[in-house]
Chains A and B, each alone.
Chain A
Amino acid sequence: MSTLTPEHPDLRTNYLTHSRGVLSWMFTLDHKRIGVMYLVSVLASFLLGGILALLVRTELIAPGETIMGQDAYNRTFTMHGAVMIFLVIIPSIPAALGNFILPIMLGAKDVAFPRLNLTSYWLWVIGAIFAVMSMVVGGVDTGWTFYAPYSTEAARVGVVYVTVGAFILGFSSIFTGLNFIVTIHRLRPPGMTWFRMPLFLWSLYATSIIQILATPVLGITLLLLIVERVFRVGIFDPALGGDPVLYQHFFWFYSHPAVYIMILPAMGIISELVSIHSHKHIFGYRFIAYSSIAIALFGFLVWGHHMFTSGQSALMNAIFSAITFSVSIPSAIKVFNWLATMYRGSISLNTPMLYALAFIFIFTIGGLTGMFLGTLATDIHLHDTYFVVAHFHYVMMGSALIAMIGGLHHWWPKITGKMYSESLGRLAWALVFVGFNVTFFTQFMLGSQGMPRRYHDYSDTIGNWLPEKTQLFHTYHFISSIGSYVMALGFFLILFYLLHSIFRGRRAPANPWGGRSLEWQCTSPPPHNNFDAPPAVGDCYDFSVLEWDEQEGGYKWREDAPHPGGQDS
């Protein structure tokens, strides 16, 4: 580890200024630049998916046709789901933040396979182009789940575009997972045993296992879908002797583990945020690390809980329900460990910590409501209603995305070398937190009262709709839509002040928060090759070696604290 004196060469250039020109970015092998390109792409996709969401919520604010007809609505909610899942949530933390942080946390110069990393990014771009192109050729209206036989026989041709896009995106995901696994196995620095790694790396490792084992199944499934559609083979189409429920098994075999791809890295971030901003050693390191692996493995065994009403046998339903509950336990363990970390800590309520607290609040609700859905008797009533929509937005958006935003704020100084406005950060946080809960908590009641999902309209002018249902649903939909506008305001504010910080922000110190993982021991932004030599590490959660330096506006190593020299520090 090199000490940062003003004469240090790294202070004169960093990875951003190391070389110039568009081509130096497009063909870069620097994991940090690749991470930044992913970040920009993922956030742009989030903007697209968010606009689609606002269109959906605006249509639903009142019964009857508000801003669009049925067909347009069906295409809108489909693209909202497909864009958010495939282009935003799945890649966001591993590819955007993980690519940047993982090698630096390991004291390495880069990932194990930098060219594969660049390939992953361009595959993402190509996949995204296909997916978005589907909107141009008439759209897709199957829902992001592309259920057969609707997707194979009746839906618009856009289905082929978006499934080809998802197929290509799958490879991006697989290659990233492969890269991370090898990097973690082979490029750890001296002293960093498995149980000395920051927990963010454990979460990325567990995620990568899921990525490489599960994504191929999605790839094959989508390929079969296209083959069925084009060549009318008879895999899923009952008219040709196929089984439509088979599609659901194939699809959910990937798509359930996929949600753990979304949440595990998020939990890894929360472990970092809670401990660093509480200035206290993480509690229960081993349990947290093992729980990540447990979630990854159990996550493969529960896909049938998406299919309790599909016609699946009662025995299968019972087995899937039982295993589903087993997955909830490791997640609960993490939440308790984070609380125990905060206990008797010294908690700084800055923006990253606020997002971590929001995560705990929201994820608790999201996780607990999963129990209603994993329970057979109640799921019969709640399946395919807004209760499910509320549940998955609580865990995917309110948890995974919130953690990503928290991580973005936490590592923003490191990535850009600039500090954002803390007061705007807190204001935006409040808008997002309140807006989110108003938008989605109302949807739990909407669902338990019986409103099905993927409905364009709930007006009692439709034949056979009872007025009592319309009135009740209208109240909740109205409140929910207002919440979504508040939340959107929060996100636009974040966009504004983050962009503003790039041009006008205060220069960031190497260690603004007092973290001890290796990324805080290089400059903000990091130099091109991260470290001259792999630094030796000690316990990355022992913050007692750090102290606040008023002059630098950040933390630095205490004069009297020993530097790690080997395994026993």
Chain B
Amino acid sequence: MTLLTTILGLLAAATEGPVGGGFWMPRQASTAADVVDSIFFFILWISVFFFVLIVALMVLFVIKYRRREGHESAKTATHNTALELTWTIIPLILVIIIFYVGLRGYVGMIQEPRNAYEVWVTGQRWSWTFEHDNGAVQTNVLTVPAGRPVKLKMTSTDVIHSFYIPDFRKKQDVVPGRYTYLWFEAPEPGQYQLFCAEYCGTQHSQMAGIIEVTAADEFDDVIAQKANWIDEYADEDLPRAGLRLYPRCQSCHTLDGSPLQGPSFRETHRLWGQKRIFADGSETVVDENYVRNSILNPGAQIVMNYPNVMPTFQGQLKEREIRALIEFIRKLDEVVDEQGGPRE
């Protein structure tokens, strides 16, 4: 096994690019990346060898045995059992080795780490929600400690998504109705791209995120601050806090009046204090209660001409956060302009 590891190491070293990523692979930002890349390059070299062999023979034969005057095809043997067994058995041995190496690497990648920092992940069309044990909730950006295993417990509230961090070489489908798990350990602080890698509808390519790996000694403070961020906002500043929460609503509700899956918050803002009509014919006044109900029990009152697709945020928002969203919509014009850009 040490011989194999040595060969793998040499091959990997021969083809590795600079630390920021090479020709084939992006930078190695997790402890798993090295293993995956070594295996990739191992297979690559075997592939290159056989490709060159086959194409070289093919080109050689085409040139050497091209049809021309005085050169008839030779009446060679039409089969040769020894030769055929040889080129059956050698590839068979090679693929068995490749399979085995791949399996070993895979088992290392999925083995549950001890002492992992755990995060609950929810995928929904088209954003990622991350919930930390201390109550911090993040949208699309996940802050984690460097140099420590991180374990993600993931589910979807609608269709199948997939959690993919290329720089970590990790991917796992996120499936509705169950939890799936992914772990990684990133030694270096930095920002690493997160993609959704299972087609999930219109905005599939927009469902990107960032894994923000933070130095271990700073992480505790950073994450505590994220958990309690809303406490820093005084009551009169709650509309701005609402704007900070807005990314979680963004994929379905605009701020400029244009409708998406859900009505624009600007429309709701304009109707404040007036009646709004729902699909079942009932109506209610747009006020604090209406917004609260829409967040916690969205299916109860669907605005006319909109689909019943909003997920509930019950249990996902603190009381003060709900209040911030209400104030955000109520005072929308003070916080953002007509196009939805923030006012200073």
Residues of A within 8 A of B109 (CB): 377, 380
Distance in Å: Cβ of A155 to nearest Cβ of chain B? 8
Q: Is A454 an interface residue (CB 8 A)?
A: yes
CA distance A375 to B159 in the complex (A): 27
| Interface pair A377/B67, CB less than 8 Å apart | no
Within 8 A of A (CB), among B46-90: 46-47, 50-51, 54-55, 57-58, 61-62, 65-68, 71-80, 83-84, 87-88
Cβ-defined partner of A344 (8 Å) among B35, B73, B209: B73
Cβ-defined partner of B98 (8 Å) among A239, A325, A383, A469: A325
| Interface pair A342/B62, CB less than 8 Å apart | yes
Distance in Å: Cβ of B321 to nearest Cβ of chain A? 20
**Residue in chain B with minimal CB distance to A360:** B58
| Interface pair A329/B25, CB less than 8 Å apart | no
Q: Is B301 an interface residue (CB 8 A)?
A: no
Within 8 A of B (CB), among A113-168: 141-143, 147, 149-150, 153-155
CA distance A320 to B195 in the complex (A): 26
Residues of A within 8 A of B214 (CB): none
Question: Among A361-369, A421-429, A491-499, A515-523, which stretch is in contact with chain B?
Answer: A361-369
Within 8 A of A (CB), among B201-222: 201-206, 208-210
Residues of A within 8 A of B198 (CB): 147, 384
Q: Is A314 an interface residue (CB 8 A)?
A: yes
| Interface pair B160/A285, CB less than 8 Å apart | no
Interface string of A444-472 (1 = CB under 8 A from B): 01001110111111100011111001000
CA distance A239 to B77 in the complex (A): 64
Cβ-defined partner of A329 (8 Å) among B80, B88, B175, B309: B88
| Interface pair A464/B175, CB less than 8 Å apart | no
Q: Is B177 an interface residue (CB 8 A)?
A: yes
Q: Is A13 an interface residue (CB 8 A)?
A: no
CA distance A376 to B193 in the complex (A): 22
CA distance A50 to B279 in the complex (A): 43
| Interface pair A452/B195, CB less than 8 Å apart | yes
Cβ-defined partner of B177 (8 Å) among A238, A280, A449: A238
**Residue in chain B with minimal CB distance to A375:** B102
Total count of chain B residues near the partner, CB < 8 A: 94
| Interface pair A450/B205, CB less than 8 Å apart | no
| Interface pair B195/A149, CB less than 8 Å apart | no
CA distance A76 to B241 in the complex (A): 40
Within 8 A of A (CB), among B246-264: 247
Number of A-B residue pairs with CB-CB distance less than 8 Å in the complex they form: 282
Q: Is B11 an interface residue (CB 8 A)?
A: no
CA distance A339 to B105 in the complex (A): 35
| Interface pair A348/B67, CB less than 8 Å apart | yes
Question: Among A25-33, A39-47, A330-338, A478-486, which stretch is in contact with chain B?
Answer: A330-338
Say yes or no: A371-B110 contact (C-beta < 8 A), given A329-B95, A335-B54, A361-B55: no
Q: Is B243 an interface residue (CB 8 A)?
A: no
Q: Is B129 an interface residue (CB 8 A)?
A: no
Distance in Å: Cβ of A388 to nearest Cβ of chain B? 10
Distance in Å: Cβ of B83 to nearest Cβ of chain A? 8
Say yes or no: A281-B162 contact (C-beta < 8 A), given A74-B202, A375-B102: no
Q: Interface extent on A, as a size class?
A: 35 or more
Q: Is B273 an interface residue (CB 8 A)?
A: no
| Interface pair A339/B54, CB less than 8 Å apart | yes
Q: Is A532 an interface residue (CB 8 A)?
A: no
Q: Is B106 an interface residue (CB 8 A)?
A: yes
Cβ-defined partner of A279 (8 Å) among B24, B58, B73: B73
| Interface pair A378/B78, CB less than 8 Å apart | no
Residues of A within 8 A of B92 (CB): 329
CA distance A450 to B196 in the complex (A): 11
Cβ-defined partner of A333 (8 Å) among B51, B74, B88: B88
Say yes or no: A314-B141 contact (C-beta < 8 A), given A147-B160, A284-B79: no
| Interface pair A462/B208, CB less than 8 Å apart | yes
Q: Is A244 an interface residue (CB 8 A)?
A: yes
Residues of A within 8 A of B65 (CB): 278, 342-347
**Residue in chain A with minimal CB distance to B72:** A346
Residues of B within 8 A of A349 (CB): 62, 66-67
Residues of B within 8 A of A458 (CB): 205
Q: Is B277 an interface residue (CB 8 A)?
A: no
| Interface pair A368/B51, CB less than 8 Å apart | yes
Within 8 A of A (CB), among B1-36: 21, 23-26, 35-36
CA distance A315 to B126 in the complex (A): 32
CA distance A428 to B237 in the complex (A): 68
CA distance A457 to B208 in the complex (A): 11
| Interface pair B208/A464, CB less than 8 Å apart | yes
Q: Is A322 an interface residue (CB 8 A)?
A: yes
Question: Among B164-172, B287-295, B334-342, which stretch is in contact with chain A?
Answer: B164-172
Say yes or no: A239-B40 contact (C-beta < 8 A), given A150-B199, A364-B54: no
8 cross-chain pairs, A with B, having the tightest CB-CB distances, nearest first: A238-B177, A450-B166, A377-B105, A375-B102, A376-B106, A455-B205, A344-B74, A368-B47
Q: List 20 A-B contacts (CB under 8 A).
A: A149-B176, A154-B309, A239-B176, A283-B78, A309-B171, A311-B178, A325-B98, A329-B95, A333-B84, A335-B54, A343-B76, A365-B51, A375-B39, A375-B102, A381-B36, A384-B171, A448-B40, A453-B199, A462-B208, A464-B140
Apart from A149-B176, A345-B73, what are 15 other A-B pairs with CB-CB below 8 Å?
A70-B203, A141-B201, A238-B178, A280-B76, A284-B80, A329-B92, A339-B61, A344-B73, A368-B47, A371-B47, A376-B102, A378-B102, A450-B164, A450-B167, A452-B196
